[in-house]
Chain A
């Protein structure tokens, strides 16, 4: 390598010395390279730590800005945190979250999808993606990401957070009319729900919204076992029992509550009416049955007559119903005792008249509602 002139086939006297020098120089260069490597590495590590500290500071500022409602500043801060510490998932998720709040869902989604490539089973990333899909009304994608989030490995201390995600999913399912899926999730949610009034009430409401009043009643009752005077639980249990046509139970709960909301009041009124006007109720005497039936027939006939007068359609069905009601009223006026068949036929007629009245001349009065529910309870609806 030296520039010393060489001649063909001839060993130059100082060749060994030259080789020796070159080797020494190369070794020295290698030693310098190794030393430079460790020096550079130390400086780079120090720089990296500084960058991470800076990133953490930007993240902290971003959180503060987010809390103060300054979304743009928060986004800028989170972006800087991300640049300074590229692989920090927390910073990326925070950025995506703030972008979502700002309404820039596409950017947020892009960030999260990139993150998800390296961590497909990350609960927080999947949850953010699910929320973005939810906001974009993309039901399929939202369900996929919600499920991925739910069945991702969660840290042991995040049970409550996971439960919240499930409740969020249930809300989402209910919003989109997927009640059977919502009920399945509710069953899972109730299985891992802590025995706590708030949680039972929350679940009970969701059961109710999903149309599972049995589940709702069960949750309200569990709440009442823990807090017997809880107004919300009493009202909810009363309503659930009412939906289940367990009117006596509903009355018990509703009578215990001091809640006086419109719903509770009207339900209570209807429940009282049902229990006081049901001619087929158990454990009442024949005279009472006759009395109730007479009263119901009189009310239905009067409502029907008023309705026909109000909108005289004059169809053959109207006439037939009128005749049927008249015949029943005449039969009830006789002092003879009435048998079960007549009571059932009477209840059936009242149910049919009430249906016509409510359909044609609604809205239904509390008595109308009570009579219809009595009819439904005893098989009127199936007819």
Chain B
């Protein structure tokens, strides 16, 4: 009989099994990405044929969107949009739990939406499908919850690696965007999954780069100035896209809740109209990117397609269809870059590269500006085109685009989209170390709720609690947190005003339960003595409040716990 296993041996065995699991997840995620991509092509070919009539172009998007609208509203509500923010949310806030219906729903609705002409990308959905498969497999195998969480970026990397045929960029994306930490310990398993996925993908589709690009190079060092200009332009186009998308989505979300089922079809109708103007904005659109990269489009055409695609993607995404923004950002970037390159080439034909080189760099700048993953964008363009020569201009332009985008829109697009859904992801700067005290440890949870409809004088009279801090609203309908001093101050000037109208003026300072002590203290000092602690997944749900007293109580409680542990 064998000797009993030590904890070290068990841990080793667990790591080995996790590695095997990462390979299998990578393979399955890669296969799902390939199948997704192929299915979109098949559906598109069947729906539109070789040269579709105008009626077909106009009618197919709204007609298919009616069906996807029902599916997205009734069966797969988690399958709307890109899938990347949802994956990040699942990783950071739900312990990596992604229900099995999510990848299935994303696959079906994604294929229908993109295949029916909506201007969206296939990579974001692939990421969510891969992550969803990984999470489902982890739960089926009953791996520990922490391991289920770790499988999410592994599956995402595997899917993205196959979708773009870019193993390195996929690993970087998983670290940079999903995990939010380039030094993450998961690098080994994401690399393994990414490699396994790409091997599978290449064995099926062959080792073809996504785009065929002639060899480009920096013709003259001064050309870097032109690329820097392109980076600046790319930054502003990225801003236009991000802000336009957020505004349009806000508009759609402000429509009555009952209309959500029809919103994809409304988007489909607009897309149908745009397809009549130019069928080139249909779907993923990589064939036109290829043309721009090979100098196959005119200046006027590229400018037109840049803005048409931008508008079409905003409409498709904001109306709640299922599809990503990776591919559209590459498309818009290629058109903007190609147009800029053509202008530059016109002025200085002998000291500048062909417009295709600018289209290539333009793709990276938009990706860096919109997705806000600068390292991923550089490596992705490099891997997509397998062209090393363009790396320096690419880095210059990407960095400028990234800086401009961050300067004028502090919150990255994916996070801003989550904010619209009331979800706030932790940023690396605000993440607490496992041993640190967080708002959760310091908050009071025995809350006193005040009715926002109540006049102030009645509210004050009704307060029997003497602790001095209260919540206006209800647990799931949080409006503000106030102190007794604030209420008494308002009472002097406006005793009969409704509480709800008075608190509207208050700045919305809050923390989330996982915020560390230093951030809690910092924000408390900016408040009037009370700091609400709201849920990350629902900004209208209050988990507790932090006051100076509660911090002291929390500290004492923790100290006592520590003492007991030592004893």
Contacts and interface: CB of A to CB of B under 8 A. Distances in A.
A106 B10 CA distance: 65
Given A33-B31, A54-B50, A110-B214, A43 B24 contact: no
A110 B294 contact: yes
A86 interface: yes
Given A37-B27, A110-B294, A44 B212 contact: no
Interface in A275-301: none
Contact of B31 (A3, A26, A36, A114): A36
Nearest to B147: A1
A33 B141 CA distance: 15
Nearest to A7: B7
Interface in B288-303: 290-291, 294-296
A15 B50 CA distance: 60
A58 B49 CA distance: 12
B41 interface: yes
A90 to B, nearest CB: 16
A3 B4 contact: no
A54 B35 contact: no
Contacts of A39: 35
A32 B17 contact: no
B287 A83 contact: yes
Contact of B141 (A1, A51, A84): A1
B271 to A, nearest CB: 21
A217 to B, nearest CB: 50
Given A2-B142, A3-B143, A50 B45 contact: yes
A39 B27 CA distance: 13
Contacts of B18: 1
A47 B17 contact: no
A312 interface: no
Contacts of A1: 13-14, 17-18, 21, 141, 143-144, 147
Nearest to A83: B287
B6 A8 contact: yes
Nearest to A4: B142
B47 interface: no
Given A6-B7, A37-B200, A25 B140 contact: yes
A244 to B, nearest CB: 51
Interface string B244-269: 00000000000000000000000000
B27 A33 contact: yes
A106 B342 CA distance: 14
Nearest to B3: A11
B295 A43 contact: no
Contacts of B32: 36
A44 B205 contact: yes
A36 B42 CA distance: 18
B319 to A, nearest CB: 28
Nearest to B205: A44
A57 B50 contact: yes
B208 interface: yes
A68 interface: no
B31 A40 contact: yes
Most chain A CB inside 10 Å of its own CB: which residue of B14, B21, B31, B42 = B31
Interface in B11-42: 13-14, 17-18, 20-21, 24, 27-28, 31-32, 34-35, 38-39, 41-42
A43 B39 contact: yes
Contacts of A9: 4, 6-7
Interface string A1-44: 11100101111000100000010011001101100110111011
A44 B34 contact: yes
B17 A83 contact: no
Contacts of B7: 6, 8-9
A166 interface: no
Contact of B214 (A26, A41, A114): A114
B354 interface: yes
A111 B38 CA distance: 27
Contacts of A268: none
B313 to A, nearest CB: 21
B144 A3 contact: yes
B10 A6 contact: yes
B492 interface: no
A50 B44 CA distance: 12
A43 B4 CA distance: 49
Of the four ranges (under 10, 10 to 19, 20 to 34, 35 or more), the interface on chain B belongs to 35 or more
Contacts of A106: 295, 354
A48 to B, nearest CB: 8
A58 B137 CA distance: 43
A30 B14 contact: no
B41 A47 contact: yes
Nearest to B356: A110
A110 to B, nearest CB: 5
Nearest to B6: A9
B145 interface: yes
A263 B344 CA distance: 55
Given A1-B141, A37-B200, A47 B38 contact: yes
A79 interface: yes
Contacts of B14: 1
Contacts of A266: none
Nearest to A41: B204
Interface string B214-227: 11000000000000
A137 interface: no
A84 B143 CA distance: 43
Interface in A42-75: 43-44, 46-47, 50-51, 54, 57-58, 75
Contacts of B4: 9-11
A200 interface: no
B145 A3 contact: yes
B429 interface: no
A111 B294 contact: yes
A50 B35 CA distance: 15
B35 to A, nearest CB: 5
A107 interface: yes
A369 interface: no
Contacts of A80: 287
A129 to B, nearest CB: 14
Nearest to B45: A50
Interface in A81-137: 83-84, 86, 106-107, 110-111, 113-114
Contacts of B200: 37
B208 A26 contact: no
Contact of B38 (A25, A44, A86): A44
A26 B6 contact: no
A107 B31 contact: no
A43 B37 CA distance: 11
Nearest to B297: A79
Nearest to A113: B214
A281 B308 CA distance: 87
Contacts of B35: 36, 39-40, 43
B354 A110 contact: yes
A9 B5 CA distance: 6
Nearest to A15: B5
Contacts of A57: 50
B530 to A, nearest CB: 40
Nearest to B14: A1
Nearest to B208: A86
Given A6-B10, A40-B34, A79 B204 contact: no
Contacts of A40: 31, 34-35, 38, 204
Nearest to B145: A3
Interface in B276-295: 287, 290-291, 294-295
Counting chain B CB atoms within 10 Å of each CB, the highest count among A9, A47, A84 belongs to A47
19 contacts: A1-B147, A2-B142, A2-B143, A3-B142, A6-B7, A26-B141, A29-B24, A30-B24, A36-B31, A40-B31, A43-B38, A47-B41, A50-B42, A83-B291, A86-B212, A110-B294, A110-B354, A113-B214, A114-B215
Among all A-B residue pairs, the 7 with the closest Cβ atoms? A83-B287, A11-B4, A3-B144, A1-B17, A47-B38, A36-B31, A40-B31
